[in-house]
Every structure is written in C-alpha cells, then in structure tokens.
Amino acid sequence: MIERSLDIAQIIFADIILSGDNALVIGMAAAGLSPQLRQRAIYLGMGLAALLRIIFAVFATYLLAVPGILFFGGLLLTWVCWRFYEELRRDVLHEAEEVLAGPGYVGPPRRQMWAALTTITIADVSMSIDNVLAVAAIARHDTALLVFGLVLAIAFMAFFATMILKVLSRFPLLSWAGFLFLVYLSARMLWDGWPEVAGLLGIGVVPI
C-alpha cells in the first residue's frame, strides 16, 4: 500500500513538472512574436501538447513494445533535464509566466510564426513521449496506475499547464526539486532500458 502510494505521488509530481516545463517552452518560443500571433501560437502549442499526450497514451502499449524505447526515452528526458536546468539557472520562468498570462513583450516581432511553431512542435513531441514513458517507468506493469498517470498528464497539459508554471515560478525550491526528480527519473529509465539496448547491440550485460 505504501509502495503504491509512493508510485502515485511520483507520477503526479512527474506529470506536474513535465507539464509545467512544456508550458515554459511554449511560452519562451512564443515570446518573440507579435501579441496577436503569440496568443495563437500559445493556444496551438497547448492544444498540440494535450493532443499528442492523448495519441501517445492510446498507443502506449505499442510504444512500450518498441525495442529500446525506455532507454531512448531516458536520453530524451536527459535533454529535458539539461534544458530545464539552463532555464532555472537563467531564471526564465518569470518571463514565460508573463508571456502566458498577459501581453508580455509588445515590441516589434523578433521571430516568425513558423519558427516558433517548429520549436513548440519539436518540444511537444519529445516531451509528450517522455511523459508517457516516465509514467510507464514508474507504473511498471500496473495498468491501472499507468492509465491514471496518462489521464492525469493529459488533464494537466490541457487545463492546468499555465497555472503549474505560475506555481513553479513563484516557488523556486519546488522547481529545483522537480529538476532533481527528473534527473533521478532519467537515470532510472537509462538504467532499466540499457539491458535491452545492449542485447540489440550484442553487448554483454552483467546480471544484477
């Protein structure tokens, strides 16, 4: 019972941090657009992120059956960790929050719509895959826990991502705790996924 409760808590925390970080990327990518285009890019980005989580959740069983996918997800999550660290170090959470919550930057456009959407789409795809794999890495073979985590991830991204980003920007310690948790989760995914990759590459793995 305690172990299951711990797994649920980990899934909730992972969903919160990944949804908040996804919203941060969307906000920063849209920051240099004109106000009218910025809102359009934010809505498209949020909608795409939620849609991709639904798609990957529907095909989660098939996705998890892809050889080496957990290790690949760990590599993606490592990239997310590095980017999240850089964002925390440069303290850009407040800037992204302002962009998502209000007019933010109102000067001349500093980038084009297609460039912002390209950045947003790449981030949405990679982080949606990671969200599914992160939940799967915690839930293991518990189908009910997996479904709970994926439904929660979709809800967070669709309805609460901006609110989550606001909380993360107001409480820096929570952001750093989330960063450390993502580092732990990526290391766990790499560790658990390596034996399968090693087998595909023909590399001997010492039994643990």
pLDDT at 11: 92
Instruction: Note the pLDDT tens digit of each residue in 62-72.
Output: 887 888 888 98
Q: What is the overall mean pLDDT for the chain?
A: 83
pLDDT at 205: 54
Check if the beta carbon of residue 205 is closer than 8 Å to that of residue 133: no
Q: What is the separation, in whole angstroms, between the first and last Cα of the chain?
A: 26
Among the listed residues 197, 186, 175, the one whose alpha carbon sits nearest the alpha carbon of residue 13: 175
Q: Which residues contact 91 (CB under 8 A, 6 or more apart)?
A: none
Q: What is the average pLDDT across 58-86?
A: 86
Taking the C-alpha atoms of residue 146 and residue 8, their distance in angstroms, rounded to an integer, is 10
Q: What is the average pLDDT across 163-175?
A: 84
Token pair listed for 48 = 């795409």
DSSP per-residue string spanning the chain? -HHHHHHHHHHHHHHHHHHHHHHHHHHHHHTTS-HHHHHHHHHHHHHHHHHHHHHHHHTHHHHHHSTTHHHHHHHHHHHHHHHHHHHHHHT-HHHHHHHHHS----SS-SS-HHHHHHHHHHHHHHHHHHHHHHHHHHHTT-HHHHHHHHHHHHHIIIIIHHHHHHHHHH-HHHHHHHHHHHHHHHHHHHHHHHHHHHHHHT------
Q: Is the pLDDT of residue 185 over 70?
A: yes
Instruction: Note the pLDDT tens digit of each residue in 84-138.
Output: 888 888 777 777 777 776 655 555 555 578 888 888 898 899 889 889 988 988 8
Residue with more model confidence, 43 or 95: 43
Q: What is the pTM of this model?
A: 0.81
